[in-house]
Amino acid sequence: MGDRYFLKIICPKCGVHDDDVYYAPTCGFVAWQCKCGHTVDLEKYTGIGYEEASNATEIKQMLDEIQ
């Protein structure tokens, strides 16, 4: 479980704008495909990786505290 991001993307190949891109690396939503067929790696595009988006450490800490 982790953070989800709603992004505005500009395709680096054709310049098309998409204002409704979903990025959730901990759920496997890690790429976006433009209408032109070009695929964008959203981790590279945003600079936000799995570790930055994951809240697994915080959840483990909370569970440890209540046990």
Q: 0.85 cut: is pTM over it?
A: no
Distance CA 35, CA 16 (A): 8
Place of tokens 């915080």: 58
Boundaries of every domain in the chain? 5-66
Q: What pLDDT does residue 10 have?
A: 95
Element (H, E) at 19: strand 17-23
pLDDT score recorded for residue 55: 63
Q: How confident is the model at residue 31 (pLDDT cuts 50, 70, 90)?
A: very high
Instruction: Tell me the average pLDDT across 2-7.
Output: 82
Give the span between the Cα atoms of 15 and 56, in whole angstroms: 36
- Over residues 33-64, the pLDDT tens digits come to 999 999 999 999 988 887 777 665 666 676 77
- CA 33-16-32 angle, to 5 degrees, is 15
Q: Among candidates 67, 46, 64, 62, which has minimal Cα distance to 1?
A: 62
